[in-house]
Structure 1
């Protein structure tokens, strides 16, 4: 990624200079120490089963919709009940009040068990839009024939999932999504976005390049933008969500041995 800091770590250079002798005169331990970098020290993050990491931004913890608002304006009007969040058909999409750039996103979702007469894209459809533009499809894709670049785990109409690991309708599905946001210099795209997606712990998108904004009709293309909210789709189907949180992704400090 062009925004990553390919910095030479000063502590490494200082440790090499401190020896002041040729490599042949160093012990193996001293030679190994030359490539040890002691700063910066990664921050500790607390984790617990079924809980968001301690550094996560929690968007929905089962209590209320205070982290969201309606795309139409005003309060989000989806249904919160028994620790879950369900699409209220006709209420419209909801968006996070906070904007994000690159993130790790976790969300759990399930679809209704009554699928009589429903098939393809009508089989309980929703979606998660990163930066309100790039959709990871939510759909009951269990024994449901549809176009593969529109099934669960697809980058909608752009990339077919590697496999289909969804559970039957009525059972919870888990999404873990790594989103590297696109980068722009003014109006010019300098680095496309990328998505890595796991469904129920199974990799279905492997650092897949995003081709542009999700489109229902026509091909994708990019237009310059900054950080933006997470958007959940009302596709007129009662899809249910729980445990939605994001972690903002920063830059790694890379060791440069040149």
Structure 2
């Protein structure tokens, strides 16, 4: 036994030496990742800035024309009854950052009537915006839910009147040439820095009544919902993936 161990030792040492002596065999030099500047508190250098605190020039009304929501103090706010707004640019796969704030004054409302809005990816798939701080409602309709589809892993909501953050990775659905679903959409969401949706498969477009389903489509705008609540937004940017 001892003789076998002694005989094997030089071979093992030689194999280990070969691996240590040729690190270049496992080094990959291309493609070189593009450098992206990430200034603190600002959008990455390769981002498409959708709101810089000054105007809604990147947005339009739900039916075209100017975006009718109010801009003040570096944010923009839903004007109830004015309908939603959408980006002029169309997107497929994106990284999205958006900060939002529900009204500080609750005024007796609760459930779905408290700080309600929505972020629709490709105009069809809703990431819910809602004041879900000490505000019971159906779990697949609370803040950070994929509305009527996916319950968030935890409730990371801050009190009303405080700014909140969503960081989203959106992988758009793919369709075959014949219009069939080749691969469904997937979404990952961080709410205030906490993982709440983990590469969740989206079952189809958002429906208030009935089951979700897919219909073929291409890249489309990001849409923000007017749900009769003065929800505010700021620091909105995307990176196309």
Shift of residue 30, structure 1, vs aligned partner: 5.2
Counterpart position of 1:73: 64
Q: Which residue of 2 aligns with 1:128?
A: 119
- Which of 1 and 2 has greater Rg? 2
Partner of 1:214: 206
1:24 to partner: Cα distance: 6.3
Aligned-residue offset at 1:31? 4.2
Choose which of 11, 21, 31 in structure 2 pairs with 1:40: 31
| Equivalence for 2:51 | 60
Aligned pairs for 1:113-152 within 5 A: 113-152=104-143
Structure 1 Cα separation of the partners of residues 127 and 194 of structure 2 = 15
Q: Distance in 1 between matches of 2:140 and 2:16?
A: 60
1:234 corresponds to which of 205, 208, 226: 226
Report the equivalent of 2:94. 103
Q: Supply the distance in 2 between the matched residues of 1:29 and 1:233 (Cα, whole angstroms).
A: 58
Q: Could you list the per-position Cα deviations for residues 153-175 of structure 1 after superposition, in whole angstroms to 9, with x for gaps in the alignment?
A: 10000000000011000000000
Partner in structure 2 of residue 183 of structure 1? 174
Q: TM-score, normalised on structure 2?
A: 0.91
* Distance apart, 1:26 and its partner CA: 8.2
Q: Mapping of 1:239-254 within 5 angstroms?
A: 239-249=231-241
- Structure 1 length-normalised TM: 0.85
1:255 match: none
Q: Would you say 1:87 and 2:78 are equivalent positions?
A: yes
Distance 2:109 2:173 in 1: 36
Q: Distance in 2 between matches of 1:57 and 1:25?
A: 49
Give the CA deviation at 1:59: 0.3
Secondary structure at the aligned position of 1:33 is classed as: helix
Question: Following TM superposition, by how much is the alpha carbon of 1:33 offset from its aligned partner in structure 2, in angstroms?
Answer: 1.9
Structure 2 residue runs of 5 or longer lacking an equivalent are 1-13
Structure 1 stretch displaced more, 109-118 or 230-239: 109-118
d(CA) in 1 for partners of 2:192 and 2:237?
16
DSSP-derived class of the 1:28 partner = helix
Report the Cα distance in structure 2 between the residues aligned to 1:39 and 1:60, rounded to whole angstroms: 35
Question: Distance between the aligned counterparts of 2:51 and 2:101, measured in 1?
Answer: 15
Residue number in structure 2 paired with 1:198: 190
Gaps of 5+ in 1: 1-22, 250-258
CA–CA separation in structure 2 for the residues paired with 1:73 and 1:220: 27
Looking at structure 2, the residues matched to 106 and 223 of structure 1 have their Cα atoms a distance apart, in angstroms, of 27
Q: 1:155 aligns to what? A: 146
In the alignment, the residues of structure 1 paired with residue 17 and residue 136 of structure 2 have an alpha-carbon distance, to the nearest angstrom, of 65
C-alpha change, 1:25 and 1:242, in structure 2 (3 Å) is closer
Q: Distance in 1 between matches of 2:220 and 2:27?
A: 38
The RMSD of aligned alpha carbons is 1.4
